[in-house]
Structures are given as structure tokens and as C-alpha cells.
């Protein structure tokens, strides 16, 4: 551990209490090498991006080849081969009803674009009243203003801003019949002003790794369609194999009107996101009137280096058994974590694909818990009330067990130290 640079402002951190920050000097596979010669096994694949592990040679080769040709060119007025190829590659692995791709530079921006698209879709059709969104408790869709408005306004990390951003319509995930009746009433009462329903399918990740069934996902999609409301799927975290299929929506055999992709899109190499739509959504923006065009253009959208990395990443999914690896990870996590449910202070243990979650009653000292994991040689970052892992799909079995061993050893320590305080 080293003291952080005094002028760097770190994310999601109380800088007044931040004392030690590991300094990474290189990465390889599932390992992070620190300047003090310590090695950490990465349990969260660099915020869920490095699906193929760090320093994948195919991705590196693709980036190096592209940087010698053209590292960047504005996408306003130019096209380029990496973006054309990526569009073809994405549409090849997505549902056939997705037809058009708009590129952005981060997940939050992708969500902003999807919301903008939804509102303007209705405006272009002459419907001015549909300008609100229905989202869900425990939702997280990003840190920018529009994205914050569809996050959980009370229990999410953006609750401080609830009176300073647009107010949206919030519902519980309708898991029970009672919740379904409430959900249907919320939709019926507000459908004239709801532009879209937005949901992270199967797993609400940064909101606490809350999981719902494929039946619930299918049900929500059906309610949206029945009430003539657009459906936005945020697969920024769940896409590209994380839940066991290439995309989470495949497990419910549904699709949305708009789909947001990011994070693992480039295999964790560079920032890039995509907003994919059906032909119906796209065609609502066509015509001779410039006001009907989508007036949005991130400076680094469709960055050629990022597109090259994404193309390589998709090829890796085609050539290597990534989804089989995810299912193997899922089995190991499920088998090992079942025993954790008997530990003091553990409320729930759950898993889905390459995601494993231990929900604690409460975490009084988050920094203590995080530091203990680092001391054990693993990079696991508990938040809210959960300890979770979302490892690289290429993680070795002994490395995965090292992550699980650390959780198994540290939860009893945590219980001894804090359980009486809870």
C-alpha cells in the first residue's frame, strides 16, 4: 500500500479518510502487480470489463495494428473500417431485430443517449407528453445527470441529488403477484407520459447485485409492449457473457427497442459503448427535417482504437470457449458459496453466471473489509452490504478458489469484529 497522490481525486471515495491506495504497475491474466512486489488476484475484472483477462494478445495486436494507421478520427462526417466492422460484428451476435448502432464513449453516456432517443422518438411521432421513464428500486444506470435520474432515488449512491435531478417513476421489481398488480397500476396510471421502461436484465449490478428471474424479465417486456411503451435494456454490465449467455435478454427470449452496451465491449482495453436500436426506432428519426435528427455526438465516439479492440474481443468469443468457462465459474461459485450462508451475519448468498454475491446484514467499516482482502492477496471491493466477485472468464481454477478462500476466511473475522455492532 502507498499513500495516494495528494492531488488526485479518486472515485467513490471519502478523500478525507483515504490513506492507502495500491499502486498497480502491470497486469497479466487475472493478476495485478503492485509496485511493492505484491500480486493481487483480480476478483472484479477491473469493474467488470476484462472478460478475457488482462493483456489479451489478440486485443493488443489489434490495437497496435490500428494505432499505426489511425488512432482517432472524428465520427462527425467521417466513417472508418473498424466502426463498419464492429457494426457488422455486433449485429451478427445480437437478435436479428436489432438493426442500427450509435456509438458513445462510456456506459453512462450510452444511457443518456438511450433516454434522449426514447424521448425524441415520441416527439418525432408528434407525442409530446411521453417524456418520463419508469425504472426500478436498486437500479443503477450511471453517474451522469440523466442516468442518475433513473437510479434508485432513495437507497442508491445518488440519493443526495434526488431533489436536483429530473424525477422519474420508480417501481419495485415485480417478483410477486402483489408486486405485479402494483406495477401494472403504476404503468396504467402513467402510460401517457412514460417514454420508456429501463431495466438491467437479470442482475441489477451496482445497486447491490439484486437478481430477478427470466420470467420477471419477460413479464416486464410484455407490459411495456402491451402499453405502447419503449423498453430499454441496460446490458452494460450484464452483456458479453457475464450472466451465462452472450446477452442476458437471450435467457428470457425477449428483446428491447433500445439496448445499451459497454464495459466488456472492448475486453477491458479501452472505453467504448454502443446504443443499439430496432429499425422502428431508427426510422422515426428519418426525414428532411434536421430537427428530427438525433443531435448527439461524443467527441471520441467510435474511436478506431476502441473499435479495433471490440472487434478482436468479439472474435475471441467466437474462437474460444468463453461461455463454457463462465458456466464452469458459475458451478464453482455456487458450490463454494452455499456454505457461506451458515456464517453469522450473512443474509443471503446468490450467484448468476460469473457473478457471486454474499449479502451481509451490514458493513460498519467498509475500508477495514477492503483492506483485509488486499492483505489476503485478492482484489475484492465490497460495497453497500455485499461482498461480490465478477472475475475474468479466463481465471484459473486455483485463482478462483483463492478468491473464494479469502471470502470464506474473512467473513468470520468480520463477524467476530463487527457482528455485535450490527
Catalytic member of 98, 140, 282, 300? 140
Query: Is the distance from CB of 415 to CB of 343 less than 8 angstroms?
Result: yes
Helices (H), strands (E): how many in the chain?
A: 12, 16
CB 317 within 8 A of CB 241: yes
* 12 is known as an active-site residue: yes
Dist. CA 356–CA 209, nearest whole Å: 9
365: cell is: 467499516
105 is catalytic: no
- Picking from 297, 238, 231, the residue whose alpha carbon sits closest to that of residue 265 is 238
* Identified catalytic residue from 130, 132, 263, 352: 263
3-class SS of residue 115: helix
Give dist(CA 312, CA 320) in Å, integer. Answer: 12
Q: Which of 52, 28, 413, 84 is nearest to 268 (CA)?
A: 52
Give the CA distances from residue 389 to residues 41, 54, 65, 244, 352, in Å, rounded to whole numbers and listed in that order.
11, 16, 33, 15, 11
C-alpha cell at 378: 485478492
Determine if residue 95 is left, alpha or beta; phi over 0 gives left, psi from -120 to 50 gives alpha, anything else beta: beta
Asked about 352 being catalytic, the answer comes back as no
| Catalytic one of 234, 282, 352, 388 | 234
Query: If you count them, how many residues does the chain have?
Result: 422
Residue with cell 419503449: 230
234 is catalytic: yes
Residues 6+ apart with CB under 8 A from 204: 136, 138, 139, 140, 173, 210, 211, 212
Using DSSP bridges, classify how beta strands 169-171 and 132-136 pair: parallel, antiparallel or unpaired: parallel
Residues known to be catalytic: 12, 140, 234, 263
Amino acid at each position: 500500500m502507498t499513500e495516494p497522490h495528494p492531488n488526485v481525486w479518486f472515485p467513490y471515495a471519502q478523500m478525507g479518510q483515504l490513506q492507502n491506495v495500491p499502486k498497480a504497475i502491470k497486469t497479466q491474466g487475472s493478476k495485478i502487480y503492485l509496485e511493492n512486489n505484491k500480486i493481487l488476484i483480480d476478483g472484479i475484472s477491473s469493474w467488470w470489463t476484462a472478460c478475457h483477462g488482462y493483456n489479451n494478445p489478440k486485443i493488443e495486436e489489434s490495437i497496435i495494428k490500428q494505432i499505426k494507421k489511425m488512432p482517432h478520427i472524428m465520427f462527425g462526417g467521417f466513417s472508418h473500417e473498424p466502426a463498419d466492422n464492429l457494426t457488422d460484428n455486433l449485429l451478427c451476435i445480437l437478435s436479428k431485430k436489432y438493426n442500427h448502432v450509435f456509438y458513445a464513449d462510456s456506459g453512462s453516456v450510452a444511457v443518456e443517449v438511450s433516454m434522449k432517443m426514447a424521448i425524441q422518438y415520441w416527439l418525432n411521432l408528434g407525442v409530446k407528453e411521453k417524456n418520463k421513464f419508469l425504472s426500478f428500486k436498486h437500479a443503477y444506470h450511471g453517474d451522469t445527470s440523466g442516468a442518475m435520474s433513473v437510479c434508485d432515488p432513495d437507497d442508491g449512491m445518488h440519493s443526495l441529488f434526488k431533489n436536483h435531478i429530473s424525477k422519474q417513476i420508480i417501481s419495485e421489481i415485480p417478483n410477486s403477484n402483489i408486486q405485479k398488480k402494483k406495477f401494472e397500476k403504476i404503468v396504467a396510471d402513467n402510460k401517457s407520459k412514460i417514454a420508456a421502461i429501463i431495466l438491467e436484465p437479470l442482475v441489477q449490478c451496482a445497486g447491490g447485485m439484486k437478481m430477478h428471474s427470466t420470467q420477471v424479465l419477460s413479464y416486464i417486456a410484455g407490459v411495456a409492449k402491451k402499453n405502447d411503451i419503449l423498453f430499454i435494456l441496460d446490458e452494460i454490465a450484464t452483456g458479453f457473457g457475464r450472466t451465462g449467455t452472450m446477452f442476458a435478454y437471450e435467457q428470457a427470449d425477449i428483446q428491447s427497442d433500445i439496448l445499451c452496451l459497454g464495459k466488456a465491449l472492448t475486453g477491458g482495453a479501452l472505453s467504448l459503448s454502443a446504443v443499439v436500436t430496432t429499425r422502428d426506432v431508427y426510422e422515426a428519426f428519418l426525414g428532411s427535417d434536421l430537427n428530427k435528427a438525433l443531435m448527439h455526438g461524443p467527441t471520441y465516439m467510435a474511436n478506431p482504437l476502441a473499435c479495433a479492440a471490440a472487434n478482436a474481443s468479439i472474435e475471441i468469443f467466437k474462437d474460444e470457449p468463453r461461455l463454457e468457462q463462465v458456466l464452469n465459474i458459475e458451478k464453482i461459485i455456487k458450490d463454494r458459496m452455499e456454505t457461506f450462508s451458515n456464517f453469522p451475519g450473512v443474509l443471503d448468498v446468490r450467484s448468476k453466471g460469473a457473478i457471486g454475491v454474499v449479502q451481509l446484514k451490514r458493513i460498519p467499516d467498509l475500508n477495514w473489509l477492503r483492506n483485509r482482502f488486499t492483505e489476503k492477496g485478492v482484489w475484492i471491493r465490497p460495497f453497500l452490504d455485499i461482498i461480490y466477485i465478477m472475475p475474468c472468464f479466463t481465471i484459473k481454477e486455483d485463482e478462483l478458489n483463492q478468491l473464494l478462500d479469502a471470502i470464506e476466511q474473512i467473513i468470520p473475522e468480520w463477524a467476530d469484529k463487527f457482528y455485535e455492532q450490527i
